[in-house]
Structure 1
Amino acid sequence: MFSCRLIDPEDMISRFVVCRYRLEPRVESNDEFTVLPNGSLFVPFIFMYPLQPHEYCLDVFRYHDTKEEVVLPLVCFTEPLQQAHLYLHYILYPLGLLISVPFLIVTMLVYCRIPELRDLHGKSLTCHVMCLTIAYIFLAAVQLGGETFHQKICVVIAFVIQFSFVACFFWLNVLCFDTTWNVLANVRLQKCSNDSSENDYICYKRLKDGRVNMPKATERSVFIFYSLYAWFVPLLFMVFSVSMDLMPTIPSSYLKPNFGEKKCWFSSEDAELHYFYGPVALLICVNILLFILTAYKVFSFEWKAPKHRPRQLFRMCLSLFGVMGINWVMEIVSWSVGGPDYIWYITDVINTFQGVIIFCIFVLEPRVREYVWKKWGRQLSNIMCFKDNMSYSTPENAIKQNNA
């Protein structure tokens, strides 16, 4: 049954509402519904996502035959623009996040399993990708079914997402710092002549063949310091957020995250600024300064080889920062400025597919492709040959082909 009403132009929430449809489970089994504790309406056979309180209303109806009064929901119809936004929010964004996850996992496996890639840069990249993987999995779960989660589960997931994203940006900061350090050491030691006594520069050593490298023992110690910084600081940040949010002794006048009150995230923009966007913006500014310094050193120095390792490293990290840094700058701008959602669709979609982009930058890079083929090329060839053999009509023909 349909019910239409006039629209108040002053009402910003209901400006999209045109008509309402009454759900009647007794008449139509697909109209089965559940009002969730957070006030949203779950209609599993009609809508793929729970309806927010402003998308439906409850009213009392009387059946004429039984004179029984029942409370039934009236579901609001929306205009196509809002429907497109809901489609992007509940379908396309989670789909992009879930598509990115396998690419992130493959990137981790490549940099974990190939010894040549397990240097300081490779280990840091693996930690960065691992944080992003965890954040994407939980963020996709929230966008697909967060409204149906119990509040306690919602709070836990929100803290995991906060920690994962903050740690992700701390590891990106580590990658930027490590790239700058590597370039500065190469520039300093490459300028020295072979007979110079200056062969060390802050943990880096110049080898006899002219290459600049960090000894393995020193590399392990540096990675421990990196890990203490990039894991421990976000952990302290999360513990502080948990304490502010859950400890009853902290006055309500203090700014709290209030996870789980409205959604599986912060309850207000002020909380988002102090507990998430503020630290992320600070790290992005530091990374920009590091890249400006690195770019100056890279392009002002005459490298002996056109494919010098520090220069390649800078290009890859610059690409990574361009993907994460610039898009998150746009994310922060969209959060602070506001405006129509469709303006930020492109950057939001790019953010969801970061896993694919990271895979293309760090795994499809020629040097890494060569290592991958060297380690797993024969196995991949055997798998392809096995598939070809399976295409033969009889097992005898397949055996003969293998023997040949």
Structure 2
Amino acid sequence: MLTATKMFMIVFTLLSIIKSVTLSACDEQEILDISDGELLPNGDVVFDGVVYENRDYFINNVTGIKTACPKLVINKCCPFGTGYKTRQCVNITDSFDAPVWDRYKLIEGARAREMFRFRIGKINCTRPYARVLVSQIGQLDWSDNWHLKSDGKLFVELDSSIPPWTVQPPDKYCIDTFVYEDQDGKTHTRLDALACFLDETPPNHFEVRSTCMLLSCAFILITVAVYAWLPELRNMHGRVLMAYLLCLFVGFILMASMQIMLTIDNITPHICVVLTIVIYFALESAFFWLNVMSFDIWWTFSGKGGMTSKKMSKRFCAYSLYAFGVPTILTIILTSLEFSGLPPHPLLPMVRYQGCFLFGRSKLLYLYGPMFFLCLANIVFFIMTALRIARIKHETEMLKSKESAMHDQHRKDKQRLLLYLKLFTVMGINWILEVISALYPDADYIWCFTDVYNVLIGVTIFIIFVCKRKIFRLIKKRIKENFTNSKNNSEELKYKRTIPTRLCEDSQHQRGSVETIRTTIGMENGVTAEANTTIL
């Protein structure tokens, strides 16, 4: 029969094997040596302020070295076996543990003590931060407005904020079992957290962003005004460009308005949702009009026939149906999913859960996803157009003559292609910057480049499409025509005003002549002047 000592050795060996198998899952380069840690009476080890429970580390019987796998470290306000009560730690019988959430929902069976290690001690918040009990933020009573995430961060819901949530990193909070007394004097315990929050509203860059947007809108509006004012530019290409710029203008002006309302704290979640939907439609429509430009230039070089006024109107209607119809469908899908009542999921827009406008993964999926495919289509159309130009130049000898009308037309089309390529490049760089800012939302330095470039979009578009000799000549010609027409109209009006006076003078002269003639005739016939005058 096995003695008690042998049984103990067998059990200890089995436990050691289990621990070694568990630790073997760690990367050998990441295994922590906690031999220098403080051994507590319950068998736990405190190393560098972090508690390693006795089941979480392994002791080498030969060397005596204690090793453990690294885990995420979060803060616990008081030691294990105690709870937090009115700024002090008190003994409690409740076991400490906390549920863990992934991005959107509770992870079934996951517990904090299994996923994290804990550093014991209250957090120290330095000014302008203050230590706040998260369950009482904006609430009259205790509430479940927070949860622990699998990445070690603390998610806290806010009742009067845009966005209506905040995420605290592990060094900005501590969780524990809190002890409090109700009005009847009964003692209760509750899992809660202390976190560092700003005493005042954190500084944002909405003022700079909205100013940048408004400046860009001003240059875009000037460009549209120039193209609408000059008759020579109100052709198919000018109409498409104006439609694109107007969509971009609407998106930018509403985005700036949203940021201004956020700055003065005069916006509600419902207004955020409405503005998000309209801005989404406007920006998507702008990119679809950009796609129309690339298609139209390819269609022009493909030689599909001439362009009469009636045909141009039909084609522009078809373009409008495409450039406004598809974004309408996408907007309906976005709105339907937002108000579908489905539980939170990474594939849903969740505008109301994330604040004003799309954010993070939903922004990449719903906004930048269609834009990505449109950009790929634009690149294909531009490459096909460039190949077509090269083929025409190689096959058509008539184009070598500079006096050829066909050569002049193709030269103008190539210039327009270059303009579209410049515009596509400008918007492509901005799109790349926006994607980077969506992938790394915590990188504050990215918004500087994005917002400065938003100003450059309006300025660059103005330079590309307005600051040209041809446009300046057309403007000069238009001003001269208006001045000439105004002068001619003024002279014509002056001439018309002199006509009644002349007619009156001529009438009186003619009337006097008739009377003289009739009087003379009467005297010759023996009739007196008075009688003749009476007869007349």
The TM-score bracket by the shorter chain reads 0.5 to 0.7
Secondary structure of the 2:386 match is helix
Task: Call closer, same or farther: CA 1:380–1:327 in 2, change over 3 Å.
Answer: farther
TM-score normalised by L of structure 1? 0.65
Matched, 1:163 2:271: no
Structure 2 Cα separation of the partners of residues 108 and 339 of structure 1: 36
Secondary structure of the 2:351 match is coil
- Could you give the per-residue CA deviations for residues 224-268 of structure 1, whole angstroms, max 9, x where no partner exists? 1100000011011111111111244x565683212233321125x
Matched, 1:310 2:413: yes
Hey, what does 1:289 align to over in structure 2? 380
Hey, what does 2:302 align to over in structure 1? 184
Equivalent residues in 2 for 1:232-381, closer than 5 Å: 232-248=325-341, 255-267=347-359, 269-299=360-390, 301-302=392-393, 303-304=399-400, 305=402, 308-336=411-439, 340-342=443-445, 345-376=448-479
Matched, 1:98 2:214: yes
Q: How far 1:377 moved relative to its partner? A: 5.1
| Matched pairs, number | 303
RMSD: 3.8
Of the three residues 234, 240, 259, the one matched with 1:124 is 240
Task: Call closer, same or farther: CA 1:100–1:149 in 2, change over 3 Å.
Answer: same
Identical positions, percent: 31
Secondary structure of the 1:260 match is helix
Hey, what does 2:154 align to over in structure 1? none
Hey, what does 1:141 align to over in structure 2? 257
Q: How far 1:294 moved relative to its partner? A: 2.0
Q: Which runs of 5+ in 2 are unaligned?
A: 1-49, 51-71, 75-122, 131-137, 140-156, 174-195, 394-398, 485-536
Task: Call closer, same or farther: CA 1:238–1:380 in 2, change over 3 Å.
Answer: farther
Of the three residues 108, 116, 128, the one matched with 1:20 is 128
The structure carrying a bigger strand percent of its residues is 2
Q: Which has the higher contact order (CA 8 A, sep 6+)?
A: 1
Q: How far 1:325 moved relative to its partner? A: 1.8
Q: How far 1:173 moved relative to its partner? A: 0.3
Task: Call closer, same or farther: CA 1:356–1:53 in 2, change over 3 Å.
Answer: same
Hey, what does 2:396 align to over in structure 1? none
Q: How far 1:155 moved relative to its partner? A: 0.6
Query: Given residue 39 of structure 1, which amino acid in structure 2 is its aligned partner?
Result: L
Q: How far 1:283 moved relative to its partner? A: 0.5
- Could you give the per-residue CA deviations for residues 66-106 of structure 1, whole angstroms, max 9, x where no partner exists? xxxxxxx973599xxx97xx4xx323322111001121112
Matched, 1:175 2:278: no
Does the CA contact (< 8 Å) of 2:206 and 2:260 recur in 1? yes
Does the CA contact (< 8 Å) of 2:287 and 2:374 recur in 1? yes
Structure 2 Cα separation of the partners of residues 141 and 351 of structure 1: 15
Of the three residues 179, 194, 198, the one matched with 1:75 is 198
- Could you give the per-residue CA deviations for residues 129-151 of structure 1, whole angstroms, max 9, x where no partner exists? 00100111111122222353111
Structure 2 Cα separation of the partners of residues 254 and 347 of structure 1: 25
Does the CA contact (< 8 Å) of 1:90 and 1:144 recur in 2? yes
- Could you give the per-residue CA deviations for residues 167-194 of structure 1, whole angstroms, max 9, x where no partner exists? 0000000011111222332xxxxxxxxx
Q: Which runs of 5+ in 1 are unaligned?
A: 1-7, 23-34, 43-48, 58-72, 186-201, 206-213, 382-404
- Could you give the per-residue CA deviations for residues 32-55 of structure 1, whole angstroms, max 9, x where no partner exists? xxx79x83889xxxxxx9998579
Query: Given residue 257 of structure 1, which amino acid in structure 2 is its aligned partner?
Result: P
Query: Given residue 298 of structure 2, which amino acid in structure 1 is its aligned partner?
Result: T
- Could you give the per-residue CA deviations for residues 291-330 of structure 1, whole angstroms, max 9, x where no partner exists? 1222333356435448721111011111110100232134
Hey, what does 2:182 align to over in structure 1? none
Does the CA contact (< 8 Å) of 2:346 and 2:362 recur in 1? no
Structure 1 Cα separation of the partners of residues 279 and 267 of structure 2: 15
Query: Which protein is bigger by CA-based radius of gyration?
Result: 2
Hey, what does 2:323 align to over in structure 1? 230
Q: How far 1:340 moved relative to its partner? A: 3.6
Structure 1 Cα separation of the partners of residues 340 and 197 of structure 2: 39
Structure 2 Cα separation of the partners of residues 136 and 92 of structure 1: 14
Task: Call closer, same or farther: CA 1:93–1:378 in 2, change over 3 Å.
Answer: farther
Structure 2 Cα separation of the partners of residues 290 and 361 of structure 1: 21
- Could you give the per-residue CA deviations for residues 196-248 of structure 1, whole angstroms, max 9, x where no partner exists? xxxxxx2x23xxxxxxxx11111111101100000011011111111111244
Hey, what does 1:109 align to over in structure 2? 225
Secondary structure of the 2:128 match is strand
- When structure 1 is superposed on structure 2, of 91-100 and 332-341 the one drifting more is 332-341
Does the CA contact (< 8 Å) of 1:111 and 1:117 recur in 2? yes
Matched, 1:39 2:151: no
Does the CA contact (< 8 Å) of 1:40 and 1:53 recur in 2? no
Query: Given residue 239 of structure 1, which amino acid in structure 2 is its aligned partner?
Result: I
Secondary structure of the 2:353 match is coil
Does the CA contact (< 8 Å) of 1:331 and 1:348 recur in 2? no
Structure 1 Cα separation of the partners of residues 483 and 386 of structure 2: 39
Structure 1 Cα separation of the partners of residues 441 and 158 of structure 2: 26
Hey, what does 2:310 align to over in structure 1? 217
